[in-house]
Every structure is written in structure tokens, then in C-alpha cells.
Amino acid sequence: MSAFFKYAAVAGWVQLDPMRAVTVRPVQRGGLRAERRALTAEQAEGLLGAARGLAESGPAVPGPAAPGAGGGRRRPDQRTELRDGLIVLLLAAVGPRVSELTAANAEDFFVNGGTRYWRIFGKGGRTRDVPLPGPVAEVLDAYLAEGRGRLDRGREPKALLLSWRGRRLARGDVQGVIDRVLARVEPGRRRSVTPHGLRHTTATHLLAAATDMDAVRRVLGHADLSTLGRYRDELPGELEAAMRVHPLLGPLERRRGG
């Protein structure tokens, strides 16, 4: 919107650029809501651990009935724990746009050379094949074998993620899924986050781990490397960690130790 109105003012379509009055600029990382920024390693590990645990065991006590399903406990065909765990794992580990996640079909996941891939259909008609980490692939396989079949009502035969009514999961439902998983994280490691914040988390931690920038770009589906700057947040202690393992000083450290 900022770029559009800047051009509109230059082209003479409008006399005043309303976006000049916006207090938070896209480049001001610290000015964004905390929910849209990357989780720290401890926070991300807590969320991923809760998602994995939810997918593996489900709730200790059966939850309330889904909205509109009547009173009492949820029936087996309304249980969404496996699906919810998969959603958070995909968002945090792969960093898709929420629209890419909800538009995914079961047939978009395939195996090549023993590795499970997700063919993501992104912006501008571009597609990318992203390999899934082992723990995520395991939960995906379990969901396809068990969880999805419980939710399937035959209404959305291709959709990967289904609501308890058997419809393709809507974009607006994803935040509720994240919040349910967050409720399982111990308070000291819990912080609210949006789907876009998990996309920031993916980019930030991959780059902090010295992953090749072009590889990160391809995982996220960006057209060029410059876009990564908007998804890279600062992490506590990352500069100190980088200087402790300085590549130029490694030989000197080894020589002194010898």
C-alpha cells in the first residue's frame, strides 16, 4: 500500500499520500507488533515441542464439543489434535504463507529419493518443492493415514487441512489453531505469535544458523534475496555467538590450545 500511494502521488492520481501519516514503516522491525516478529529459540522450541506432543498423544482430557456439534465431549471424528500439531509444525519449520498452507492439497506432498517434499504453489504462479524435516514428515504421514480420514466428509476430496465439518480449513481458523497449541507451552517459554510471525521465525533461525541465503529464499518462495531483509529479526546473543566462533580466529585458537 505504501508503494502504491507513493506512485499514485507521483503520477498525479492523488494530491496527498495518506501513507505518509502511517506511524509504523515496514522497515522498522522493532515497530511491528510482537506477534508478527520471530520467536526466540526457546520460545520456538516450546511451541514445536507442544505441537509434536499434541500430534503424538492428543489431549489428556477430551475437550469440549466443537461449535455447533452439540453438548458433551467431542466425537472421534471431530478430534483435530493431529491436524493442529501438523499445522504448527509446517508453519514454524517451512514458513509458508498462510494462504499457501490452507490451499495445500494432499497430492502436493510426495516422496523423492526417500525424502518427503511439499510442492507449494505460491505467488505469481511460482511453485517450489521444499523438503520436509524428518519430524514434520512423520506427523504429516500420521495425519494422512489417520487424522485426515476422521475429518473427511467427502466435501473437499483434495484439501489437506480439513475443519471438523469436513470443509477446507479457512485462513481465519489458523490463528485459533496456533493459540490452542500455545496454551500447551509452559508459561516461561510462551509468547503469542501469528502465522506471519512463524514465517519470520523460520527465516530468522535459518539465517542465524548460517544457512545459505539463496536456500532460505527458495524455502520461503521469495523472488529475490533483498526481500529476506524484511523477514530477518535480531535474536538475543546472536552477535556474541557469532564472534565466539569467528572463522578467521579459529586457527589461532587451535594453535594456542595446542
Whether residues 101 and 176 share a domain: the answer is: yes
pTM, 2 dp:
0.74
Q: Is residue 158 among the annotated active site residues?
A: no
Q: What is the pLDDT of residues 13-56, one digit of tens each?
A: 988 888 877 655 544 445 556 677 889 889 999 999 999 998 88
pLDDT over 70 (residue 75)? no
**Residue 3: band (very low, low, confident or very high) from pLDDT cuts 50, 70, 90:** confident
Average pLDDT over residues 51-74: 57
pLDDT of residue 94: 94
**For the chain, what is the domain count?**
2
For the residues of 127-149, what is the DSSP string, one character each? EEEEEPPHHHHHHHHHIIIIIHH
pLDDT of residue 255: 61
Q: Is residue 200 among the annotated active site residues?
A: no
Q: Is residue 231 among the annotated active site residues?
A: yes
Exactly one of 37, 52, 83, 97 is catalytic; name it: 97
Say if residues 29 and 234 touch (Cβ distance below 8 Å): yes
Say if residues 223 and 66 touch (Cβ distance below 8 Å): no
Cell output for 115: 525424502
Whether residues 110 and 232 share a domain: the answer is: yes
Whether residues 185 and 227 share a domain: the answer is: yes
Whether residues 205 and 122 share a domain: the answer is: yes
Whether residues 216 and 142 share a domain: the answer is: yes
Whether residues 17 and 43 share a domain: the answer is: no
CATH number for the domain spanning 76: value is 1.10.443.10
**Residue 245: band (very low, low, confident or very high) from pLDDT cuts 50, 70, 90:** low
Whether residues 10 and 66 share a domain: the answer is: no
- Terminal Cα distance for the chain, rounded: 59
Whether residues 130 and 237 share a domain: the answer is: yes
Q: Is residue 205 among the annotated active site residues?
A: no
pLDDT over 80 (residue 144)? yes
- Which residue type occupies 82? L
Whether residues 15 and 52 share a domain: the answer is: no
Q: What is the pLDDT of residues 203-218, one digit of tens each?
A: 888 888 878 888 888 8
Whether residues 50 and 61 share a domain: the answer is: yes
Exactly one of 196, 200, 205, 217 is catalytic; name it: 196
Q: How far, in Å, CA of 222 to CA of 76, rounded?
A: 40
Exactly one of 123, 153, 171, 246 is catalytic; name it: 123
What secondary structure letter does DSSP report for 161? S
**Residue 86: band (very low, low, confident or very high) from pLDDT cuts 50, 70, 90:** very high
Whether residues 77 and 7 share a domain: the answer is: no
Helix (H), strand (E) counts: the chain: 11, 3
Whether residues 74 and 162 share a domain: the answer is: yes
Q: Per residue, what are the HEC states of 179-243?
A: HHHHCCCCHHHCCCCCHHHHHHHHHHHHHHCCCCHHHHHHHHCCCCHHHHHHHCCCCCCHHHHHH
Exactly one of 199, 200, 205, 217 is catalytic; name it: 199
Q: Is residue 196 among the annotated active site residues?
A: yes
Domain coverage including residue 14: 1-31
